[in-house]
Structure 1
Amino acid sequence: MGRRLTLYIIIGMVLGIVAGWILHSSLAADDPRLAQWADYFKLLPDVFLKLIKMIIAPLVFATIVTGIAGMGDSAALGRIGGKAIAWFLSASLTSLGLGLLLVNLFKPGVGAGLEPAEELGKLDTAELTLRHFILEIFPSSAFDAMANNNILQILVFSLFVGVGLTAIGEKGAPVVRGAEALAELMLQITGYVMRFAPFAVFGALGSVIGTRGLGIIVTYGVLVSEFYFAMFLLWVLLFLVGAIFLRGRVITLFRYIREPLLLSFSTASSEASLPKLFEQLDRFGVPRRVSGFILPLGYSFNLDGSMIYMTFASMFIAQAYGIHVPIGSQILMLLTLMVSSKGIAGVPRASLVVIAATLSQFGLPVEGIALLLGVDTFLDMGRSATNVVGNAVATAVITRSEGMLQPLHDPDADVPPAPTDSASGGRHGLNVDPEQYEA
């Protein structure tokens, strides 16, 4: 199913662009039927994303609980968590710095002479505070966190459950087995949901092209192309660092995550690819107890694509309005984005909220965000895919540094084999010989 699904997704992308172009060419912009048909197209990705969100909370909970309970070694948990945070902070700073460097080099907004064309709507920047961030980490209700798919809060609750199960030993064994069964069930459901992915891709692109036309790609072509070049350089950096640890397997990693990348890119949602990314990292040889801990953490703290977008977008707006921002202020802006972007959990339209708050703080026109709304979908497609790359490389590298990387499995197998980690064949043990699995 693997190769066929990739092919079907690509076919869906092409057909979506063609269908959107036909729709846009057939109906006038003010024709109410255009909006109606675009809404019908958009129904497909909306349904797909709802199905994906249905899976995420129980999958994240089950994988973290079984992973921590299986580790048994709190020192290993702390060591992996420390490496993950160190990687996330370094990657975020690199992404922000690269975006700032390239936007000053390319100057995509200089001479734009653009005027805000759309209403921004309400962005609740008042919640973007240290108090909000700290409170947002801790759930007042596990059920509320799961109902809202708040990954950070689910992570905290799952940590407590996993550590608690480790502490009570055999008494918690039935709960651990239940969590393992739940994880397998969610992956089986993921397989069913993924069959709908090509239709979701078709609908997403059909809706965007239908309402805005192919011209929207050309209108902001300079900004989009330069932003994608910046993300390409970030991908190269990430894979080069990955190659230091993974050596030749870093190329194989890219091949294994091609489907999650396509899903995130075509639906403009990092979240859409999370269940599939779990599966592919299984096949790459990352034990579920490691990916189940690092990936949810990464989806809260390691959004490399969003990071590079924030500096790029902020400086593009300043350039478009002809406002000179001294290098000292740019560095302060970078550090502000570095901190504030870690507090966006639970805030609607997160990237735009962070950018709006930063623009306001540095005296730049907040309404300039309207300049980006026309192509935000296309920019979001790239940054969502980049978020997937960043988290996949981080997870694989940290796993390799712990000596836990397993042999490769067939990336296109319908059912991913569960990586075993111990000499006894258990799924969650820590008795791994690091030399056994050299790349």
Structure 2
Amino acid sequence: MSTTTPSPAPRSTRNPLRAIARIPFGWQVLIGLVLGVALGLVASAIGPGSGEEGANWLTTTLDTIGTAFVTLLKALVPPLIFLAIVTSIANLRKVTNAARLAWKTLLWFAITSLIAVLIGIGLGAITSPGANSSVSADAAQASDTQGTWLDFLIGLVPSNFLGIEGSAGDDGSVSLSFNALQILVISIAVGIAVLSVGEKAEPFLKITGSALEIVQKLLWWVIRLAPIGTVGLLGNAVASYGWDAIGQLGVFVADVYIGMLLVLLVVYPILLRTSGLSIGSFFRGVWPATSLGFVSRSSLGTMPMTQTVTERMGVPRHYASFAIPLGATTKMDGCAAIYPALAAIFVANFFGVPLGITDYLLIVLVSVLGSAATAGMTGATVMLTLTLSTLGLPLEGVGLLLAIDPILDMGRTALNVTGQSLVAVIVAKREKILDQRAYDDSVRTSFAEIQADQKAEADAFAEVEAEVAEQEAGAPAPDALADPAAHAAGGERRTEAAEAARPQA
């Protein structure tokens, strides 16, 4: 009796999770977007449920998934800001033109923000979005989260070393939150102190560097959940806000997205071309960060991905580790430029308040100088209230726009993170520190490949560490004062190994 041996199942059948992992991360996010919209429409068709808030089971499920994803991101943001900023400032001691790089970075932040806000003002002046809206005046209400220049200045002063704030609820419960702007101030102060202390700070830097690697690894694990979080976030947005709110504010929504597309697809390519950079290489390289920013609605949560793709495009690590964390807290072409400009014009149109040339100049000033105010909270509410209060417009206008804010915030954050990477690439190119070959070859967008590159770099670094340690164990330690070249040899070999392991294609 003969027996037939069944042919082995395809590898993708044996391990479906591995097959899913082979799908490029950008495509995973796009699949999540499609599923999120589809499930959101199904949830809307089901109708209200019997819960306290009238949400049906599907809407509740989508909200839970999306909220859990955002909560995980937020939990890792405070240590990420502190460790990244301290480490990046400390790394500047290795750069001879650190002050010039910092100044050029801030200058380009301001230039791109200025262009973005001018586009927003132009669209608002042409379309008058508030006059063409059918939203009811009953929706007008001041936001609980407000920002003024005084609040911004006071917010710069840390209330405690960790930047943590507590608030008591009506039921007696106490909730904790963090102020990213205060953490940023603390981190900059600690980084400058590290530079001042010098060699005695080396043990501290080793701890912070190791802790940063651990936090970033944790954040990478959370980022892997982004496609699932996309389903929950977008599905809940569609189910909760529906298309009615978008229809009532259709001109405003169209203006915001048209403005962002003009910056993304017209302004950024022009800046790249004038800097002698390939447009296609940039957008292929930055796509993982752009797509993750669209989903997560958090520039800070996307920061590790933004820094990774920026380094893969040839920006030196010592500069990327400074520019990207700084940009994640202050570089907001979407939240702090286009959106507040259009929102201010909308509110003025809606309440019949005429705007003069002085008001438009104030919008420009607030948008270019006040973008750091958005670092304290998620979203652009703080920046919007700051703009409205500066112009003397009714703060109740914020309530008119809250219903569609999550939908707008996706596009705003995607533009933010793309602009952060753009500035780093342009400055690196103009300062002649960009690896042009790596930039031209930045064609891979697979999440798995990004992690493989990081693992290869870590393995190469560990191999050289072991070799150096073995050699040093058999020879007396060199005197740094007597032979500084020998003293630095180990560090130089480590740096060379890390650079050699970086992807070149």
Question: Corresponding residue for 2:216?
Answer: 187
Question: Corresponding residue for 1:247?
Answer: 277
Question: Corresponding residue for 1:22?
Answer: 42
Question: Corresponding residue for 1:94?
Answer: 115
Higher relative contact order (CA 8 A, sep 6+): 1
Question: Corresponding residue for 2:350?
Answer: 320
Q: Pick one of 381, 384, 387 that aligns with 1:352.
A: 381
Q: SS of the residue aligned with 1:372?
A: helix
Aligned counterparts of 2:39 and 2:48: Cα–Cα separation in 1: 15
Question: Corresponding residue for 2:255?
Answer: 226
Q: Pick one of 362, 365, 371 that aligns with 1:332.
A: 362
Q: Pick one of 52, 63, 66 that aligns with 2:84.
A: 63
Q: SS of the residue aligned with 1:190?
A: helix
Matched, 1:415 2:445: no
What TM-score comes out, normalization by structure 2 length? 0.74
Q: Pick one of 237, 260, 274 that aligns with 2:267.
A: 237
Q: SS of the residue aligned with 2:399?
A: helix
TM-superposed deviation, 1:168: 4.5
TM-superposed deviation, 1:303: 0.6
Q: Whose radius of gyration is greater, 1 or 2? A: 2
Contact 1:265-1:382 at 8 Å conserved across structures: yes
Q: Which digits, 9 at most, give the CA deviation of each residue in 1:99-122, with x for residues without a partner?
A: 111111222333435423436354
* Partner amino acid, structure 1, of 2:365: L
Q: Which digits, 9 at most, give the CA deviation of each residue in 1:74-114, with x for residues without a partner?
A: 76232222112212222222221111111112223334354
Contact 1:120-1:370 at 8 Å conserved across structures: yes
Aligned counterparts of 1:426 and 1:21: Cα–Cα separation in 2: 53
Identity percentage over the alignment? 28
Distance 1:41 1:171, change over 3 A: same
Range with greater deviation from structure 2 (141-150 or 212-221) = 141-150
Distance 1:399 1:136, change over 3 A: farther
Structure 2: gaps (5+ residues)? 1-20, 166-175, 462-488
TM-superposed deviation, 1:194: 1.9
RMSD: 3.4
Aligned counterparts of 1:186 and 1:76: Cα–Cα separation in 2: 29
TM-superposed deviation, 1:287: 2.8
* Partner amino acid, structure 1, of 2:291: L
* Partner amino acid, structure 2, of 1:18: A
Distance 1:241 1:3, change over 3 A: farther
Aligned counterparts of 1:218 and 1:80: Cα–Cα separation in 2: 45
Distance 1:43 1:287, change over 3 A: farther
Matched, 1:384 2:421: no
TM-superposed deviation, 1:393: 0.5
Aligned counterparts of 1:364 and 1:198: Cα–Cα separation in 2: 39
Aligned counterparts of 1:187 and 1:281: Cα–Cα separation in 2: 16
Range with greater deviation from structure 2 (330-339 or 144-153) = 144-153
Distance 1:64 1:109, change over 3 A: closer
Q: Which digits, 9 at most, give the CA deviation of each residue in 1:283-308, with x for residues without a partner?
A: 22223322222222222322110111
Matched, 1:200 2:229: yes
* Partner amino acid, structure 1, of 2:47: L
Distance 1:349 1:7, change over 3 A: closer
TM-superposed deviation, 1:124: 4.9
* Partner amino acid, structure 1, of 2:281: T
Question: Corresponding residue for 1:8?
Answer: 28
* Partner amino acid, structure 2, of 1:65: V
Aligned counterparts of 1:74 and 1:163: Cα–Cα separation in 2: 15
Matched, 1:35 2:55: yes
Matched, 1:283 2:312: yes
* Partner amino acid, structure 2, of 1:255: R
Range with greater deviation from structure 2 (47-56 or 375-384) = 47-56
Which contiguous aligned blocks of 4+ residues in structure 1 show a shift greater than 6 angstroms?
none
Contact 2:87-2:191 at 8 Å conserved across structures: yes
* Partner amino acid, structure 2, of 1:123: D
Distance 1:136 1:329, change over 3 A: closer
Q: SS of the residue aligned with 1:374?
A: helix
Contact 1:9-1:198 at 8 Å conserved across structures: yes
Aligned counterparts of 1:27 and 1:169: Cα–Cα separation in 2: 63
* Partner amino acid, structure 2, of 1:310: P
Aligned counterparts of 1:52 and 1:112: Cα–Cα separation in 2: 35
TM-superposed deviation, 1:217: 4.0
Question: Corresponding residue for 2:141?
Answer: 120
TM-superposed deviation, 1:260: 2.0
Q: SS of the residue aligned with 1:142?
A: coil
Range with greater deviation from structure 2 (283-292 or 155-164) = 155-164
* Partner amino acid, structure 1, of 2:149: T
Question: Corresponding residue for 1:106?
Answer: 127
Aligned counterparts of 2:32 and 2:404: Cα–Cα separation in 1: 21
Question: Corresponding residue for 1:143?
Answer: 162
Q: Pick one of 313, 317, 341 that aligns with 1:311.
A: 341
TM-superposed deviation, 1:36: 5.0
Question: Corresponding residue for 2:170?
Answer: none
Q: Pick one of 298, 304, 314 that aligns with 2:327.
A: 298
Matched, 1:133 2:163: no
Structure 1: gaps (5+ residues)? 432-437
Aligned counterparts of 1:316 and 1:160: Cα–Cα separation in 2: 39
Question: Corresponding residue for 1:78?
Answer: 99
- Alignment size in residue pairs: 428
Q: SS of the residue aligned with 2:130?
A: coil
